[in-house]
Amino acid sequence: MKTRLIILFLLIIYGQSASTQVKNYGNNPQAGKYLQVADATLYYEVYGEGSPLLLLHGDTFGYIAEFEQYIPLLAKQFRVIVPAMRGHGKSAIGSKIYSYQLFAEDVLAIAEKEKMDRFSVMGFSAGATIAYYLAAHYPNRVNKLVALAGAIDTASYRPGVLEGLKKRTGDDYEQMAPQLVKERKQLMPQPNSYNLLIEKLKAAWLQPVYVEKEKLEKINCPVLIVGGDRDEYMAVEGFDRIHQLIPGSQLAIMPNCNHVGLLFYPEMVSLIVLPFLQTK
């Protein structure tokens, strides 16, 4: 019988963070490494020691730095590998057509370089979709999966979301968060490619199916699905649909929490994610 995990937190402010030494996550020479794949140079960072945990960020505005509150907590117990998706931050944009299969292959290439036969994976948004793909298509590689606010197909989205994804350009996103995009461009090997990045991401976003239902139903590792009850992209019913598809999965719905709010919940990592990852 499937287990549904609904955690009620009495937190008002998402931004409460653990007191940690500030590091330049996403631009840390001490932790940063590069890998050349067929058409792009990929950047990633490594923190901590222990069993391997891949940490996969979201796209568009996403980057390694979005996990700045989570990396210190996770790195105390795991060897945390945080890839930068192609086109994001210090990873090159590449020439291949974007798809979640391609993003998963990039992650596996980094896992191979780091000599990781098996690993756990935690992803946010697009990173969660990539994590689903890895667990579904490479079941012998994934020990455990934590998916934060990830979709499995275009049917996962609330009404109107897909239309927005179709029409927005890189300029549109830059107007939404000018300072953030400016900072990202300063890291990009091709700073003027942000519009191109968005157009290439649309090739992945607009695929009707990201991870096949038949594959999801055969995922055999422990899975924790986490969603916000106020997520702008997916309703609670969307997260529950994925929960129902994946045998034995657990579902945690964070109250009063929107999409990016899941990135500001260190208490969630301490009280939900770490116990899940540590349970044998």
Pairing outcome for strands 32-36 and 41-47: antiparallel
Tell me the pTM: 0.91
Q: Distance between CA atoms of 240 and 258, rounded to whole angstroms?
A: 16
Q: Distance between CA atoms of 166 and 146, rounded to whole angstroms?
A: 28
Residue 141: what residue type? R
Cα-flanking dihedrals φ and ψ of residue 25, to 5°?
-60, 130
Tokens of 111: 């896992």
* pLDDT exceeds cutoff 60 at 9: no
- What pLDDT, in 10s, does the model give residues 73-111? 999 999 999 999 999 999 999 999 999 999 999 999 999
- What pLDDT, in 10s, does the model give residues 164-199? 999 999 999 999 999 999 999 999 999 999 999 999
Partners of 43 in beta bridges: 34
- What pLDDT, in 10s, does the model give residues 227-277? 999 999 999 999 999 999 999 999 999 999 999 999 999 999 999 999 999
CB atoms within 10 A of CB 52: 20
Residue 40: what residue type? A
**At which residue do the structure tokens 């045998």 appear?**
247
Cα-flanking dihedrals φ and ψ of residue 227, to 5°?
-140, 155
Q: Distance between CA atoms of 9 and 19, rounded to whole angstroms?
A: 20
Residue 210 CB-half CA count within 13 A = 30
Tokens of 42: 């990929």
Q: Distance between CA atoms of 158 and 280, rounded to whole angstroms?
A: 36
Q: Distance between CA atoms of 251 and 224, rounded to whole angstroms?
A: 6
CB atoms within 10 A of CB 182: 12
